[in-house]
């Protein structure tokens, strides 16, 4: 069991308590943390059976670092701000009785909306359906898992070479890449609704100024993910580029809408708002730049892979 965390704040203690109280008890719990501190000393004393590994890097690289130290046949990954609910581990492990199963993930108790969406599918237009908070009532097959609540058969992880770490963002795209690779290779990935982790809802207050870097990273990482899994010239990559460019070009329509004198609810729009409307075009440009950068990295990475055989 590998726990990755960016800091060692109180949720980690709750996370570890949730893990060590699982039935069956995990063979080992490894915490890969980025910054050491006084809290670690306290946690070491509180959880003497847990191994703490300090690591500087992104989440996917941290997962690989934990994986290198894990010896179990099945390795589960959980984020430090998540708390595994009773029965989580048992639900995950139950599915590995089927030798065709390479990975099993579970449910996030985090409202994400869209109750009628399907879970964990890769769509033909290149986008990913998540819906990991939904309960389908039985174990189902999916194509990717939530990085915050995923487990893998050790041999599948080793055969795939662990998690990819080409990504600019820190959202666990390496886990998604591995899942899509396993699925493309004909291996079975399951979603077990009984394996629940409680994850705090993300802060959804929109910032006043758009985060252009985030827009760039999202597009870059997504097109890179698709190109690494399916190949740079794959149809799904072309489909995604079509969809993404179209969405980014909507920034001009959004700008026009934001520069009008009246808001959608009929109230007058502030002059400052109208004057800053062109900022949304920057988001579009950041997205398109991300697409180009992602493709460039993918071409290079795929060429390197070919050379390496």
Partner 1 sequence: MRVTAYVLIADPNFLAASLGSYYRWVDRIVLSYDRTATSWTGTPLPVAECLDVVAAVDTEGKCVHAPGDYARLDHGPLENDTYQRQAALLAASEGADWVLQLDTDEVMLSPETFFASLNRADEVGAAALEYPSRWLYARVGPGRYLEASSRLGGVAASYPGPMAVRSGTRLQLARQAAVPSYRVDFRFRNTDPANRHDAPVHEVVAESAAILHFSWVRDHDTMRRKFGWSGHTEAYSQPQVFRRWAARQLHPRRTVLTSALRGSDWFRLVDVPEPPGGEP
Q: Which residues bind partner 1 (CB under 8 A)?
A: 115-121, 123-125, 129, 134, 136-138, 140-142, 191, 239, 243
Minimum CB separation of residue 164 from partner 1 in Å reads: 24
| Closest approach of partner 1 to the CB of residue 127, in Å | 8
- For partner 1, the closer CB: 9 or 115: 115
Q: What is the C-alpha end-to-end distance of the chain, expressed in Å?
A: 32
State how far the Cα of 161 lies from the Cα of 99, in Å rounded to an integer: 20
Name the burial class of residue 71, with classes exposed (0-12), middle (13-18) and buried (19+) by CB atoms within 10 angstroms of its CB: exposed
Q: Structure tokens of 153?
A: 């058969």
Rounded to a whole number of angstroms, the minimum distance from the CB of residue 173 to partner 1 is 21
To the nearest whole angstrom, how small is the minimum distance from the Cβ of residue 239 to partner 1?
A: 5
Question: Which of residues 26 and 120 has its CB atom nearest to partner 1 in the complex?
Answer: 120
Alpha-carbon distance of 139 to 136, in angstroms, equals 7
Q: Which is nearer to partner 1, 138 or 307 (CB)?
A: 138
CB of 282 to partner 1, least distance (A): 23
Q: Which is nearer to partner 1, 127 or 165 (CB)?
A: 127
What is the rounded radius of gyration, in angstroms, for the C-alpha atoms of the chain?
A: 21
Strand 188-198 to 140-141 pairing: antiparallel
Give which of 78, 2, 8, 62 is closest to 36, Cα–Cα: 8
The set of residues, in sequence order, having a beta carbon less than 8 Å from that of 246 and lying 6+ positions away, is none
Nearer to partner 1, 43 or 241 (CB): 241
Cα–Cα distance, 216 to 290 (Å, whole number) = 4
- Residue closer to partner 1 by CB (options 127, 289) is 127
In sequence order, what are the beta bridge partners of 30? 2, 51
Tokens (6 digits) for 306: 């070919």
C-alpha closest to that of 218 among 258, 257, 170: 170
Q: Which is nearer to partner 1, 119 or 229 (CB)?
A: 119
Q: Which two tokens stand for residue 264?
A: 């959608």
Query: Min. distance of Cβ 12 from partner 1 in angstroms?
Result: 32
Distance of closest approach, residue 66 Cβ to partner 1, in angstroms: 30
């Amino acid at each position: 069991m590998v726990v990755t965390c960016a800091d060692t704040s109180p949720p980690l203690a709750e996370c570890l308590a949730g893990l060590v109280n699982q039935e069956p008890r995990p063979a080992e719990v490894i915490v890969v943390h980025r910054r050491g501190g006084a809290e670690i000393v306290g946690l070491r004393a509180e959880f003497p059976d847990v191994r703490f590994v300090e690591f500087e890097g992104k989440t996917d690289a941290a997962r690989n670092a934990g994986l290198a130290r894990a010896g179990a046949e099945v390795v589960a990954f959980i984020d430090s701000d998540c708390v595994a609910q009773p029965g989580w581990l048992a639900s995950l492990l139950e599915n590995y009785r089927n030798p065709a199963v390479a990975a099993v993930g579970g449910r996030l108790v985090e409202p994400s909306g869209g109750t009628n969406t399907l879970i964990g599918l890769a769509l033909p237009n290149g986008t990913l359906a998540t819906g990991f908070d939904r309960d389908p009532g039985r174990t189902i097959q999916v194509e990717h898992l939530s990085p915050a609540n995923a487990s893998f058969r050790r041999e599948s992880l080793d055969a795939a070479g662990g998690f990819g770490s080409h990504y600019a963002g820190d959202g666990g795209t390496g886990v998604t890449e591995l899942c899509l690779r396993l699925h493309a290779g004909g291996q079975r990935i399951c979603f077990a609704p009984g394996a629940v982790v409680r994850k705090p809802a993300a802060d959804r207050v929109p910032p006043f100024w758009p985060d252009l870097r985030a827009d760039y990273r999202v597009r870059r990482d997504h097109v890179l993910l698709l190109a690494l899994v399916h190949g740079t010239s794959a149809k799904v990559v072309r489909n995604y580029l079509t969809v993404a460019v179209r969405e980014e070009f909507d920034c001009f329509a959004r700008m026009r809408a934001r520069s009008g004198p009246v808001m959608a609810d009929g109230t007058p729009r502030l002059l400052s708002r109208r004057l800053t409307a062109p900022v949304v075009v920057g988001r579009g440009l950041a997205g398109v730049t991300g697409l180009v950068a992602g493709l460039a990295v993918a071409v290079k990475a795929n060429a390197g892979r070919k050379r390496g055989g």
